[in-house]
Amino acid sequence: MTGMTPAIRAAKLREDFPLLSSSQEQGPLIYLDSAATTLKPRCVIDAMVRYYTEYGGSVHRGIYRIAEQATAEYENTRREVASFIGAETTDSIIFTKGTTESINLVAYAWARNTLKPGDEILITEMEHHSNIVPWQMVAKSTGALIRYLPLNSDGTLDLNRSEQYFTPHTKLVAVIHQSNVLGTVNPVKEIVKLAHDAGAVILVDGAQRVPHHSVNVTDLGADFYVFSGHKMLGPTGVGVLYGNLEILDKMEPFHGGGDMIRTVSMNASTWNALPYKFEAGTPPIAQVIGLGAAVKYLSDIGLDRIAAYETQLTAYALKTLREIPDIEIYGDARERGAVISFNAGSVHPHDLSQLLDQDGIAVRAGHHCAQPIMTRLGISATTRASFYLYNTFEEIDLLGESIRKAITFMGG
């Protein structure tokens, strides 16, 4: 790859990721599945190890030194996350197990207690299952109806007839910020306005956007914004729910137990202040601390630099793949993230993924927890390559070569 100045030095950053230097049977690991989960830099791993080995007490309850240090580090991550996404207060930042639990928290604690028969939940045809199934469960239990915004042929949302979908019956809108299949970046700020003009509450699934691009939740104006730690260099088992304070304050708790209470008697209980009302039990302390290290790592590099570099990588990957005969790429939105889903002639995505793995290339194959998209495209599965700050142009060249070899091997 020549004639292009990378926005970041991926070759240098790769030294921070132990898995990229580990011994693999197939040779060096070419990891192109960051849309599923990202690799972890050493600073994240070290931060979690330090918690376990140096101050591994519980948070919020102890008045001894290591418990107070754990609480300080835990709450510092809340401040780091609030700043990272442009939240005005840490009270709006709730730690969960991940995007899926964040969505379910809203579904159980707000939607099930608010919606009634005849109300409408508006989702889109490109949602991840995590932003479909909870609302189907809500609809079944409340009598609300589910409607969806359809996809255009280029993988963008059809907003030309918005008045047909955003109506006085619309009470909740749930939309993905960036598609994990098509890479499409949705016009969330416009959708937020449409939702609010209709009098609806809106939740945005930012799992695929927050790791790659600057997000300011205050500017977007969404009532809820959710994302996961493991897709942004952090550990598994931790995620974030950002919420509108006025709405959060009126919501009932999602789980009952320690730390979410203010008082408990044998007859009744009262709830803690925000955000602790929604953080029952011992939280994922080490994971939260690891997330804090990931946020600092990304902030030090700069999301704008990461986004610029990924734009270059994606453009080069699209060019490389389009030069291969019989490749069909899905989604052609003008604004897209570093995700490419494709099929290679008659080679099944599962077969292609296995053959690429023999060359040390890790990609995703399947429906990517987005079966409605597959139905819309008239296919059962795709191969998906997704890129992040530690990938290189040379790896994309190797991906292209390996796909060509696989097609020839399979008689394509």
Task: Give me the helices (H) in 327-392, please.
Answer: 349-357, 371-377
Task: Give me the helices (H) in 85-132, please.
Answer: 99-106, 112-114
How far is residue 71's CA from residue 353's CA, in Å, rounded to a whole number? 43
CA-to-CA dists, residue 168 to 50, 122, 195, 366, angstroms: 52, 12, 10, 38
Helix, strand counts (H, E) of the chain: 16, 15
Peptide bond into 275 cis (omega under 30): yes
Catalytic residue among 20, 301, 308, 369: 369
Per-residue DSSP letter, 129: G
For the chain, how many residues are written? 412
CA-to-CA dists, residue 273 to 90, 113, 157, 165, 277, angstroms: 12, 20, 38, 36, 6
* 3-state class percentages of the chain: helix first, strand second, coil last, to nearest 5: 40, 20, 40
Dig out the tokens for 366 from the structure: 């399947």
Known catalytic membership, residue 43: no
Are the beta carbons of 212 and 335 closer than 8 angstroms? Answer: no
Task: Give me the helices (H) in 244-348, please.
Answer: 245-250, 285-301, 303-322
Dig out the tokens for 348 from the structure: 């099944």
Q: What is the CA radius of gyration of the chain?
A: 22
Which residues does the annotation mark as catalytic?
A: 369
